[in-house]
Amino acid sequence: MLATIFESISTNILTQPAYIIGLMVLIGMLALKKPWYEAISCMIKAVAGYLILNIGSGGFTSTFKPIVDALSSKFNITASLVDTYTLQAQLLDPANGFLATHADAMLYMSAAFAISIVVNFLLVKFNKITKVRTLYMTGHTLQSYSQNTLWFLVLISPLFYNWPITIAVGIFVGVWAGTGSNFTVEATQKLTGGANFAVGHQSMFGILVVDKLAGKLGNPKDSMDNLKLPGWLSIFTDNVVCTTILMCIFMGFVMGFIGKDTMMTFDTTLTAGTWYPLHIFKVCVNFALYMSILLMGVRMMIGELTKAFRGFADKLLKGSMPAVDAAVTYSFAPSSVPVLGFAMGMIGQLIGMAGLLIFKSPILLLPGFVPLFFDNATLTVFANKAGGRKAAIIVPVLNGLFQVVISLLMLLFFQNIIGFHLNAWPAMFDNNVLLAPFALGSKFLHPVAVMLILSVILLGLTQVYYRRNKEHYWDHMKEN
């Protein structure tokens, strides 16, 4: 009964960022003593904005998943993916026999997730001590991190399947969510011109690294924002036109290599009578369309959220700000920048995968869309701001290669050391730099000790981060 209640709450509310954001907006507007009808109006617009954003994000995945699957078929190989949701599907699949053999599995996952939310709330509530300012609001990624952390431990040793470990996982994930999103504040404030929100996703430490190092790779004055195009090239200043043309060049090559016959097997919208060049063009236009939809949702949601969150923060969590989906940052750069991140990230991944073939790797990898686009696009937006066009090209290529290398090492670890074949590794930046060491460390030390060490490190780094940014650390609390 308790498991059913937890699962129902988690599924219907806690993992639905649209409703969490809407509730925050409603509370904030009421705290600001706005009329009830204005508060409800703002809540509806915030929820609608996030759902519109979700339509754009989902459109990316549904459009390009057939292409990724077709690439796998073209090489005639069965391989693991550099992907997030493929792994979740494997762990949750009853036919797999993994979670199905563990009593109260959903209860344990839901409990770890709920505890992580409470821990993040407490870190912000006592921010004068912890220096954590950000409330992580991207529920589905927080749930994903809680699930992966818990079940990696169960894979490493079934003895760790108990309530103390579940509670420890919830605390560890809550610390990651609070400190990680807190590290993105300064970079996001610079990017947005002081919009008073942070990023809550699985690329948070990547944002911090890029913000600090991208300036050494290029000049921020040479960013895509300041690109001046002469004559007919001025058509690239239109976001839809620029995105479509760039995707036609890049995806046109990829889909041309795959071929119509192979694509028809995976893309039900492509028929024998369809002209293949026109289909490729449609796919690329759809990319531009979903980008426009995503950005429209971002503007609607952020407008209401930032307006209302001050009331919420002043009454309940003084000194706090929301940490939202990474896709929100895409509206603060030309739309060509996320597209560039996607293209360069794929090039980096393909270089890594070519290396696996050359050196006859025992595990072959194929690209998965979620890390390929959302991780690389996010880091490229910040790289462009901090280091200009040069950094925006170099960063996603390096990150794409990094995604392949870490995925290979972790898949080999679970296959050869743990004895379990994972279908994918969730290769977002934070998973690579934190979840990977956590899994490796838990094989040789007690997992509670590993989580305690990592949590103390994260909280300690937050204190160091505060001291280095002390002068303007609480500027977001000032009235605009």
| Tens of pLDDT, residues 255-287 | 888 888 888 888 888 888 889 999 989 888 887
Number of alpha carbons in the 13 Å side-chain half-sphere of residue 402: 20
Q: Which phi and psi angles does 51 have, rounded to 5°? A: -65, -35
Give domain status of residue 90, yes or no: no
Give domain status of residue 70, yes or no: no
Q: In whole angstroms, what is the distance from residue 174 CA to residue 392 CA?
A: 31
Considering 171-185, 316-330, 409-423, the range whose residues carry the highest mean pLDDT is: 171-185
Give domain status of residue 272, yes or no: yes
Across 336-350, average pLDDT? 86
Q: In whole angstroms, what is the distance from residue 387 CA to residue 214 CA?
A: 5
Supply the pTM of this predicted model: 0.79
Give domain status of residue 99, yes or no: no
Q: Name which of 95-99, 116-120, 216-220, 436-440 the model is least confident about.
A: 95-99
The dihedral through the CA atoms of 363, 368, 371, 372 has a sign that is positive
Q: Which pLDDT score is estimated for 79? A: 63
Q: Tally Cβ neighbours within 10 Å of residue 278.
A: 9
Give domain status of residue 93, yes or no: no
Give domain status of residue 72, yes or no: no
Residue located via tokens 């649209």? 18
Distances (CA, A) of 431 to 82, 99, 157, 425, 434: 12, 21, 20, 9, 5
Residue 274's domain comprises: 2-65+77-85+107-477
Give domain status of residue 133, yes or no: yes
pLDDT in tens, 172-222: 999 999 999 999 999 999 999 988 899 999 999 999 999 999 999 988 888
What residues are paired with 82 via a beta bridge? 367, 425
The number of distinct structural domains making up the chain is 1
> Of residues 438 and 17, which shows the higher confidence score?
438
Give domain status of residue 95, yes or no: no
Residues 6+ apart with CB under 8 A from 177: 116, 119, 120, 136, 142, 145, 200, 323
Give the burial class of 477: count Cβ atoms within 10 A of its Cβ; 0-12 exposed, 13-18 middle, 19 or more buried: middle
Q: Tally Cβ neighbours within 10 Å of residue 392.
A: 30
> Of residues 304 and 189, which shows the higher confidence score?
189
